[in-house]
Structure 1
């Protein structure tokens, strides 16, 4: 027990002694730490002071360098401005010297001008003196002549003028008579030469139109669909187009009859669209006809524009262009009106160039000379087409010489320009050339009679009919005298006879018809 106590006491004493020793040691270590910290702080301060001095010196050096750079730049700017100012001063001095030189020259020229004016004044005074002296001398001479001749100056002048008048009149009459004789000898020859040259330089086309059009079909089955149930389709088509549609026994063809070529063309194109589409009923017919009419109107404008571009004519009013396009669907005595007008325009241009006139104006008048034949309304007017065309041309801003040429080409008004007779002559040339217009009625009827007479010259012919404007000859023979083989032979012989004995345009179809009829009467 005591040992344990001593051990515990010893342990406690040892711990106390150790604690005291540790405290002493810790105190010594802390003092050393504080001393070392003070030394470190002093070294840091010394270093910081040293670095601050260095940084201060660097900043001062940088500030000095920046100041020097700015000073150098400022000096450069000042030098540049001084240079510009010196250059501007130099230019100003140069300008001043130039101005002074110009002023000196101007003053010198003014001095010269003044001297020349003074010399001119002196010369004018001298001339006036000389003129007055000449007048005095002239009066003296006239007085002396009057004394010598016994006549006054006015009487002598009158006698001289009368003698000169008689001489000039006789000379002029002789010259005029000679010129008239030469003109009579050469005018007709020159006119023929100009006209022949003009005609030879124009390539013409022959175009004869009738008042009917033939619409070809692929088969006769389509005719029934065009007619429709109880004829409703064909009635709707005729009402929409204003064209008479003839469906007869002509194989694979329908006849469209109307005096208005535009309506015939609308009907033809509408029929083509309906037959191609296959849907043919009244509502569809009205729709197609409306679309076709719009298409034709557009085509009329395009034809007019293309025509004036081809002829080199510019500045026409749109209504005149539309009238020119409508000429495509009009005919005059069987001659297409647009082709006729184009031909007249070309002839007028060539002839005007030959005569030294303006060919563009002549072409313009030639193209428009028949626009009065193209009605722009549905109302019929009784005014002659030349006067009506002239009124339209005046309304749409054409020049006076063009309007006069249009109105005078059939002598309804007086010709006032040289273009007017050219248009009249070229219109006659275009209409009178061979093949331009269809034959007159008498020769046409005579040709049909001649066709029928050829058929009656063969044995067995009972009746003969020339149809389709002389394009077909239908021959009816007696069945007792002509058999089937003989009918074919007769058709060939009649065609050969027509070919050798007659002159006709195109071709003639000969159809021989032989039939047998058995007739009985029921009572």
Structure 2
């Protein structure tokens, strides 16, 4: 029992101690909170006081800055006012000067008006005097003003035309002298550097026989051999009275050459009968194709042109068996290419284009007669078909002015073609063609109005035309020479060039009685 009471008392004491400790802890905690709050209040008051102090400092500084800005603005305003005042003074002075100048201009205008009135009055007097003089002149000369003007215009026109003709002759003479000098230098250099033979070999159509008996063997029994040979080769074999010679005739130079070679082999072999004829002609045809290709390749090599299609080489090689005025066409093409190369190098043009165009310019002459068109046109079309450079195609098409020349290389190729054909010994023509050309030159000249006589001289390389001086003046004479030269170029074929000279001569004749 006592133990229970003691335990209760002890528990009560513990509970009281705990309660007392809790009250004491609460009081202590409360006091600490109050102290912290006071410290925070003091810190807040301090911060507020510092902020107010800084605000006062900022306010003072702002007022000072505002004062400075206000002072600076007032200074700038005063400066601007001073400048405006000076500008106003300057404008005022300028205005006064302008007023003075305006007064002077008005005074000058008055003087000019007075002078103008005096001039007008004097002009009226001059006009009246001029009319009086004109009336007196008309009365004395017995001509009206319009008649006198017509006479004066006619005389002036004659003098002007004479002066114009003299100036034209002078300019043409100077240009011709300088141009001829430079052209002679280029042409001489080109020809000297090419240095080819003067006359190319002409393909012959004659076959020499060892004896007259061979003619009978060629003809064969009842003409069997010659008939077979003509049918297979496509040529005409002429066996005439010419001793130990047989003539092979055909418009196709390649077929004629195949026939000539075949006939020579048959003569050397001695076995002339239809089977052997067919065999040899076939072999020579195949060999001719090889020779044509080889000739084309050799020409390309000699000219220094690369990259051409094999079909073009074949057509080019066919020119070996074609001539123009006695000049071998393949040799002419190679020579033209070399000359064009030299001229292009001297003038700074494209040498490769000039060489290729000059080499292929007569490619159309290798086509047979069944192909329609001029040789320049069909040659250009054939070259374009096998991928030739368009500039080279234009050179081929335009070397006879059938198309417009689009490059300086086209002009160079045309000049090289003329040089190759016109140089001494390059070409020849028979007597009949020569006479026809002389007559054609004189006919062309005589068809022009005002021509009195014309003469083709110097083997047809010059035509001299004598005109009537009362119908043709100097200007018209120059124009006539150019027109005749152009017509000759367009309507005639000839080697080299033809000089056209128009002669106008005035004569005054009187008789002493």
So what's the TM-score if we normalise by structure 1?
0.48
So what's the TM-score if we normalise by structure 2?
0.49
